[in-house]
Structure formats: C-alpha cells, structure tokens
Amino acid sequence: MSALTETGVEALPARFGATLAGRLGAHVERLEWDAGQLQEFQRRESRRLLAVAVECSPFHARRLRGVDPERFELEQLPELPVMSKEQMMSSFDELLTDRRLTRARVDDHLGALGMEARLLDGQYVCLASGGSSGLRGVFVQTIDEYVEFVASIVRRPMARAIRAGGPPPDGLTLGVIAAAAPIHSSGFGAAVATGPPVRLIPAPATLPVAELVRRLNQLQPPALLAHTSKLVQLAAERRTGRLQIKPISITAMAETVTAEDRVSIEAAFGVPLITQFTSTEGLVGQSAPGHAVISFAGDTCIVEMLDAANRPAPEGAEAAKVLITNLHNRTQPLIRYELTDRFIVHPPDPGSGILRATVEGRADDVFRYADLAIEPLVIRTVMVRTPAALEYQVHQTERGIDVHVVLDGRLDHAALAASLGQSLRAAGLPEPQVRVHAVTDIARHPETGKARRFIPL
C-alpha cells in the first residue's frame, strides 16, 4: 500500500502534520497554566471520558456502575476500581468503545504493518508494547487522539524554540534513535512526523553503533532523542571524535538515567541532559535541562502515586502503585490503570500543581557479547509482533538467548526463534543461538512481584 491512508484521500503524514499544527499552540499555552486551570481542565475532561466509557464500553459499564459522569469530581477518583494490564488484555474487545474493533482485527493489522505506518479503518493508530514488565500490551486510538499524545511530547521543545526566536520554516527538527517499526509509538511517530510543525529524523536503535554514527554524521540533527543506553554509547563515540554532531539539546528516554550516565553524556556533548518519560499508555513527562526530576503532563493524564495503603505516597518515597487516567484516549479508556514503573515522589510544582517524580527501574539490561552490545529493542521488536506471547523473559547465553514465553494461543517456536536470530544477526551477533521455551509462569521478585524481563550473563 502507498503512503495514502485507507481512505485514499490524503497522505497520512500530511494529515498528521495538519492536525498537529492545529493543536500544538494550545498545548504550548497549557504549559503556563496555574493549578486552578489544570484542575478545571482535568474535571471537565474526566467527565467526558467517563461518559464515553460508561456508554460505549461494556467493560467500563460494569466497573463504573453507579458513577454519574455529569457530577463527577476529581476527589471521587480514588473510589473508582483499578485497572491492570492483565485485565485490559483479557477484556480487550469489551474495553474498546468502537464495537467494530476487536483484538483479532487489531492484531491482524499490527502483523501486516511491516515498516509502513498505516491506520486501521482509515482512522485508528494501533500500537504494541512490551513495557517494563514484559507483558505485551496492545493500544488503539484515533489519529486525532494520537496527535494529542505527540503534542504533549513536543510542546516543551517547541516552547524552547519559540523563546529562542521560533522554529525554522520546515519545522522543529529532532533526531530520534528509537524503534524503527511503526508497531511502536516512536516508530509510528517518526514515520508520520515528516514536516512542519515537527520533523523527526529517525535512526533505528537496533543498528550497530558504527552505522548510527555514520547516519548521524550525515544527518546532523540539531536536537537528539535516544534511549539512555544508546546515548552512553554515542557519548563514547563523541569522545573518540568518530561522532561529529553538535546538537543543542539531548534527551534521554525509555530507560533510567544514572548519575554516571548523566555525567558521561553531558561531558561528551557539552549540553545539559533532558530526561523524558513516555509510555504507550499515554503518560508523558520531561525534566528541565540538566535536571533529573520529571514533570508529568497532567492535562493529558491524571497521575496517582500511592503508598501500600492506597494513600498518596509521601515525598521522597517510592510509590507502591502508580495509576494513570488517560484523558485523551476515549477509544480505549484507561481509567486508574496501573503502570509497573517505579516512581520516586517529589514535591509538586508550586505554581501549576503538576506532579513530579524521578523514575527508577525502567532500564532493560543491554546484552554484551565481547565488544558487541545488543539493545533490548532488537528482541522487543520481534516479541511485540508475536500475539501469542502473552509474557516473556529473555536470558542471555554465551552465544545467543533463551526466551521463556507464557502463551496465549498457539506459537510456532521455530518461526519465532528464526525471527529472533535474524534480528540478532542484523545487530551484529554472528551465528546466534536462540532457544524458545513455553512456560506457565515467569519468575517474579518475591517482594515487589515484578518480573525482570532481560537477564544478562
């Protein structure tokens, strides 16, 4: 299929760009809101979300019986039930508010995407994510809802560009080293954000470092976003002189930034590092340049950081539970949905009331074979395309990987092993040995209940 959407009327990147251009100004203005404006917006949007969920989602109609959306107040949010990813996936068809959509149709669409971004029914962006827990999640939203998500990511760099005199005529340009395939949110965004107001220059994180260096030297992106572990590798290349780019901003995403990582990256590139949190579920947060504490976009997601007794977690403590209520995705309502990431609570912004935290424990371990480093994304890209893999854990071996898979349906073990082997070879591992094992459960931490997804030697 060509770059046209299923409607055959307009190119998807043009449609995306026009919609983002119409929304981005309002998003930049929201950065200046005070606490009262933010709370009023959250109240209004939560009422709209609940109304759609109760009316159109059988899953939520049962869970929210007795809730009156028109009179709902934010103080009532703790009274609503909590959602888990397991519940979301097991009740997927009943959760969606468009009754024409099913998990089977969405999985078929994801499986057929290849490297080309397309919409399901000319309307819906479909994404898959393994998340930090290794449990596969599937997410559906309209293209307009996805634009809201992207706007919440790019509005801070756009605001900085405006303060510096405005973005160039061809749009705010950002180099992105992340997923290549549009099954991932970063891959889809890179495929459609090709012109004003935002232009993303993609480079797959699965490429060998030498090839990434070559591409970045050729592209010379003015700003760079990448996984933390990849930025650490590129910092080493910058110090040797092989990487010859001079971005004015660097953003680490998707993985935890240690103090050592920050020192290494900032020293190599000579700019303060920005830390970004982005989840496919819709939550977005960014730090100020040079700072570790992340401010979350409370106008697109309400965040609750709770202790073990389901009370607001105290400042300085690790939240026992992090819940989000996504205010912009009404196709797949996520209401008090539990994330598996570890948040350390910081004082809210005194002016806006925006919640702030540092995020710990989102870094997947890189597998190292002699001088070769294999990014977890090399493996995740294959696993998220495997609908039967409900949950998985990857163990590094001397010459490859052992993959333990909890199944939801039938799995062609040989085909999955072959796909993983091909991905590992493309990343530079010669003659990889891959074994796939069906298991009934994944071992979890006895205290936290969390599973470590990538286990290095």
149-166 pLDDT per residue, tens: 999 999 999 998 888 887
Q: Which amino acid is at 283?
A: L
Predicted TM-score of the model (pTM): 0.81
Task: Give the residue among 91, 94, 78 at the shortest CA–CA distance from 309.
Answer: 78
pLDDT for residue 444: 56
3-state secondary structure at position 224: strand
C-alpha 286/C-alpha 290 separation (Å) is 11
Query: What does the block give as tokens for 174?
Result: 């950002």
Is residue 285 packed enough to be buried (19+ CB in 10 Å), middle (13-18) or exposed (0-12)?
Answer: buried
pLDDT band, very low/low/confident/very high, at 142 (cuts 50, 70, 90): very high
Chain-centroid distance of CA 326 in Å reads 13
What does the chain come to in residues? 457
What confidence tier does 365 reach under pLDDT thresholds 50, 70, 90?
A: low
Stated as kind and residue range, the H or E segment containing 446 is none
Checking if the pLDDT of 240 tops 80, the result is yes
Confidence of residue 179 (pLDDT cuts 50, 70, 90): confident
Could you tell me the CA-to-CA distances from 434 to 27, 391, 442, 448 in Å, in that order? 46, 17, 18, 29
More reliable by pLDDT, 310 or 362: 310
Q: Across residues 105-134, what is the average pLDDT?
A: 86
What type of residue sits at position 18?
A
CA nearest to 190, candidates 219, 232, 214, 161: 219
The residues facing 173 across adjacent strands are: 199
d(CA 304, CA 191): 32
pLDDT of 16 reads 96
Quote the distance between the C-alpha of residue 246 and its chain's center. 26
| Omega before residue 167 within 30° of 0, cis | no
C-alpha 205 chain-centroid distance: 14
Cβ contacts of residue 300 below 8 Å, gap of 6+? 148, 149, 152, 282, 283, 284, 326, 327, 328
Q: What is the pLDDT of residue 229?
A: 76
Nearest to 212 by CA among 240, 157, 175, 187: 175
d(CA 66, CA 222): 52
In the chain, what are the domains? 1-363 (3.40.50.12780), 367-455 (3.30.300.30)
**Mean pLDDT throughout 205-216?**
87
